[in-house]
Amino acid sequence: MIRIRFFLLLAMGAALCAAPARAQEKAVASSGINAVLTVPFPPLTATGMRPVQFGNVVPGTPKAVLPDWQAGTMSGEWRLTGVARARSIDISFVLPATLDAPGGRTMPISFNGNYAGLCEIDDAAQTCVVASWATWNPVTTPTFHDTPQRYKPGRPKYEHDHYSVYMGGQVSPPVSQAAGNYSGTITVQLVIN
């Protein structure tokens, strides 16, 4: 990279000097280099499939949603595409401490439990490869390092191109919790290796 930048600076300097040289009718030489870039994986995309949904909550009564890959679940899901042939995935989250409503109202939310989950998705069936299913506590394990060897020893890379990350949580509305719609943002951060 440094050599290429250095070359470009020399080429720009030669171009600046080339105009006076042409005016004096001196010979000008130019040279170029080829740049080669290898993209080892297809482009990675992540799509939010569904939000975490707590439904109606009763003031004074905590309500939990567990991560789940099955249809009809209330847990949130992000679907990744482009993970085939990757060796590992590091997953971490930016988690809110409260859900917010208009007027500055808040409701406490916690993720201190096995509220994060993941699953490699079978490309043909578009369902979870059950052996790959795992849950963890995103508070005590802020970054989860997943590899295909975890559930299929000897397999060095992911076989399928799709992978899903799931999130649940627990809300704890106090007895005095005001009625309304509360929301927050959970951000998932992924590093594909």
What would the pLDDT profile of 27-80 be if each residue is shown by its tens digit? Answer: 444 445 555 544 455 577 888 999 999 999 999 999 999 999 987 889 999 999
Within 8 A by CB and 6+ apart from 11, the residues are 30, 31
Same domain, yes or no, for 32 and 61?
A: no
Q: What share of the chain is helix, strand, coil (3-state, %, to 5)?
A: 15, 30, 50
What range does the domain containing 143 cover? Answer: 45-192
Tell me the pLDDT of the chain averaged across its residues. 81
Same domain, yes or no, for 149 and 77?
A: yes
How many C-beta neighbours within 10 Å does residue 190 have? 15
Same domain, yes or no, for 32 and 78?
A: no
- Residue 181 belongs to domain with CATH number: 2.60.40
Alpha-carbon span 110 to 83, nearest angstrom: 30
Question: Number of structural domains, the chain?
Answer: 2
pLDDT tens, position by position, 86-121:
999 999 999 999 999 999 999 999 999 999 999 999
Alpha-carbon span 119 to 18, nearest angstrom: 60
